[in-house]
Amino acid sequence: MADGINLSRRGLFRGRLSTPKPGVQLPWSVSWDEFVADCTRCGDCLAACPEQILVKGDGGFPTVDFLRGECTFCGECVDVCQAPVFRPTTQTPWEYVAHIGAGCLASAQVFCQRCQDSCEQQAIRFSPQLGRVPTPSVHTESCNGCGACVADCPVGSIRMGLPHDGGPR
């Protein structure tokens, strides 16, 4: 694949000539354009991930699927990769943070705090409200984007995104 062009039959039928950027890239990965240019799609990172949250995405490029679990930032994907698609693990792995959508059970007045319970960073907190169930908020300065809350949400209203991207889509 040269210059991010995806000439696979599936891509052509869908009118797509490049590999779309996934919702969540691998931790410590370089920009998507650089990643696509240099990733060999060998699958070594998928096999190395002890949490098994890395999956093949569009074009066979690895992506993170938080519905399978959380990222523990172990660095195994970086260590096993032979391609120049990762930054040093001494840097912040990524800027992703949790975004809680309108489908949250609390907005329907159903008591649920599973996301808070699964958050080791204590980045998700519930604020009590008189006459209503507590509502969640994400303290982005504490959230490391591990994704533990995503798989734990019984209604799928949490996703990972950049802090400034406006929340769930």
115 is in an annotated binding site: no
Using DSSP's 3-state secondary structure scheme, residue 3 falls into coil
3-state class (DSSP) for residue 145: coil
Find out whether 49 is annotated in a ligand binding site. Answer: yes
| Close Cβ partners of 2 (under 8 Å, ≥ 6 residues apart) | none
Q: Does 104 carry a binding-site annotation?
A: no
Check the annotation: does 112 bind a ligand: no
**Is 149 one of the annotated binding-site residues?**
yes
Q: Which residue has the tokens 């949790």?
A: 98
Rg (CA), the chain: 18
Report CA-CA distances (Å) from 83 to 16, 27, 41, 144. Answer: 25, 15, 10, 25
Which parts are annotated binding residues?
39, 42, 45, 49, 71, 74, 77, 81, 143, 146, 149, 153
Which parts are annotated binding residues for [4Fe-4S] cluster?
39, 42, 45, 49, 71, 74, 77, 81, 143, 146, 149, 153
